[in-house]
Chains A and B, each alone.
Chain A
Amino acid sequence: MLRIVLAEDSVLLREGLVGLMERFGHRVVAAVGSADELTEAVAAHGPDIVVTDVRMPPGFSDEGLRAAIALRRCRPGLPILVLSQYIQRSYAEDLLDSSDGTGVGYLLKERIGHVEEFVDAVHRVAEGGTVVDPEVVRQLIRHRRDPLARLTAREQEVLALMAEGKSNASIAAAMVVSEGTVSKHFGSILTKLDLSLDDTTNRRVLAVLAYLRGRPGVDTA
């Protein structure tokens, strides 16, 4: 069971999300409607994960996202899943930049509809995974030329699925190939992105980050 703090200014959606989470056996310890309340609720409840909207009162700009990044600064590693209506690289980048990009997610709100996948994404973020919406990834694939231009279409597909936080097994299932093939593609991606093959735990995340920022060789230290 996850203890969740939820921030969403639309009452309709907030109630819906609370119901959804409870149905899957999680507990929403606080459901709030503004960025300030979000900060207070996290301080008061110390949740396992924060799920927040981007646009919230008082300014109806990117308060939710900024509050989330500020929370990560105070509590490194606090898992945060941001729900957005926008396919926006700069939003996703800011989030991924906050304390090494683990335990964060950036999903379009319409993913909530795919209930099981959504709850799965919440789990992966809570466990320190990185989840980036496939739409955001797709947009980046199309236009990040260097170093991604060097990747084959197949490798780009693997990277995109990886950015969504999927395991090799589920990537293999999605692409209808063997798990071995996925590993082979992954190895070649790491080589092409100049990521060292030593046993850093987060090579997958680093590959995704490299890719989102459009530059190779993210510092692995």
Chain B
Amino acid sequence: MHPPTIWTRLHLRRYVRSGWPWRAALYLLSSAVLGLITLLTLVLLAVAGSVLTVVVVGLPLLLVLVLTGVPLASVERSRLRLIDSEPLTDPHREPDRTGLTAWLRTRLQERATWRELGYAVLFGFLLWPLEALVVGSVLLVCGGLLATPVMLAVDGEEARVLKMWIVDSWPGALSAALAGLLLMPVLAYPLGAIAAGRAALTRFLLASPTGELNSKIKELGRSRVRLVDAFEAERRRIERDLHDGAQQRLVALSMTLGLARLDAADGPLGPLLAKAQDEAATALVEIRELIRGIHPQVLTDRGLVAAVEDLADRSTIPVDVDLDLPVRPAEAIETAVYFAVSEALANVAKHSGASRAVVRGGLENGQLAVEVEDDGHGGADTGRGTGLQGVADRVSVLDGRLLVSSPPGGPTLFRLLVPCSTP
């Protein structure tokens, strides 16, 4: 459904009786006020800026002049809501950093800022006088005719209608008022049309062009990559903390307990110490598995092939690995593919009923292609469960794709494709 604008309302019979002509009048009237303010601001800033440039303080004033369009456009966008209920989106970007300098740099680099300055100049020097003329004439003609009886009553002898005709009788004054009353709905149409045209012009000049939209999409993509990177860095930090902290302490604890057992081998403490040491050993095994799930060291040290071979080693069903990578891909790619293969193999082990699986892959036309195939009964679904969806999301951040073919009866084939430029 299209939201109502004054243009669509103009075609309706009840337009005249609705509030829309008044909205149009208010829109044009406020234009006149705002336009005058804009004109004064522009002229003052330009004159003061130019004159004071000699003593340097003029430069910031000129900078403010350049930015005049920004607040004006913001007011214009909200004022437009008077006669057009579809909001205009703000084309400006959030600055990357806080602070005035970052804000200024961002604004000055945006095309929107300069478009808005252009709009301010056009508005201040050309548009508002025209609008004031239109709305002024309508109000003056209707108001003047309607006020004739009042003026006659005040003067007592005669009244000048619109400064042109002299009326000195009550029937004359009343018919002038009647003419004013009849003229009102007639003039409501040009008023509405002009306001609609003006709104269209504002929309055209101040709407965010596609270029800005594209840059927003790019920025979104970049922020998604940053999010994943931050997530990855955090995983690594946790892994490091566990390795350097808890793991080492537990080893030291186990060693101390071992030494204590030497001294208390035959004493009453012996069995208790042995039990404590077993607990420490269990905790170490658990931490080791935890760390491997967070970020396996072998992936960092030896790369994707060794890490996938390690996954295959640990799988509960036999897995053959046939990966051929002449060079190591970027770290983000290695990590994403590793966790994708890990998830795929976990699925194979848990749900597929397969007796064996194979991981194969290599570089194909600048893409890293990795497949995981099993001989199970199929029926895997990316939509079901969060695991595969998570893999697909993670790979898509790198502009990669996850394709799953898993017909009922099997076999299931996961195919990962990730763009991967080789040096």
- Spell out A's residues near B (CB within 8 Å): 10, 12-13, 16-17, 19-20, 23, 55, 60-62, 85-91, 109-110, 112-116, 118, 139-140, 142-143, 145
Contact = CB atoms under 8 A, between A and B. Distances in A.
Interface string B247-264: 111111011111101100
Contact of A113 (B280, B298, B318): B280
B248 A110 contact: no
Contacts of A145: 318
Interface string B47-90: 00000000000000000000000000000000000000000000
19 contacts: A13-B248, A55-B297, A61-B300, A62-B297, A85-B247, A85-B297, A86-B288, A86-B292, A88-B310, A89-B313, A90-B309, A109-B247, A110-B250, A110-B281, A112-B251, A112-B255, A115-B255, A115-B259, A142-B313
Nearest to B289: A87
A23 B259 contact: yes
A20 B251 CA distance: 13
B315 interface: yes
B284 interface: yes
A205 B107 CA distance: 71
A113 B254 contact: yes
A57 B310 CA distance: 24
B241 to A, nearest CB: 12
Interface of B: 240, 243-244, 247-252, 254-259, 261-262, 277, 280-281, 284-285, 288, 291-292, 297-298, 300-302, 306, 309-310, 312-315, 318-319
A107 B300 CA distance: 21
A90 B311 CA distance: 12
Contacts of A60: 240
Instruction: Please classify the interface of chain A as helix (H, G, I), strand (E, B), loop, or mixed, using the class held by over half of its residues.
Output: helix
A204 B216 CA distance: 65
B298 A86 contact: yes
- Most central of A10, A61, A116 by chain B CB within 10 Å: A10
A87 to B, nearest CB: 7
Given A87-B288, A90-B298, A13 B306 contact: no
Given A10-B244, A86-B297, A115-B262, A110 B284 contact: yes
A113 B240 contact: no
B278 to A, nearest CB: 10
A17 B248 CA distance: 12
A110 B251 contact: yes
Q: Which 7 A-B pairs have the closest CB atoms?
A: A113-B254, A115-B258, A10-B248, A62-B301, A113-B258, A110-B284, A109-B251
Contacts of A88: 297-298, 310
Contacts of B256: 16
Nearest to B298: A88
A72 B288 CA distance: 28
A19 B258 CA distance: 12
B285 to A, nearest CB: 8
Given A13-B252, A113-B280, A90 B258 contact: no
A139 B313 contact: yes
A20 B257 CA distance: 12
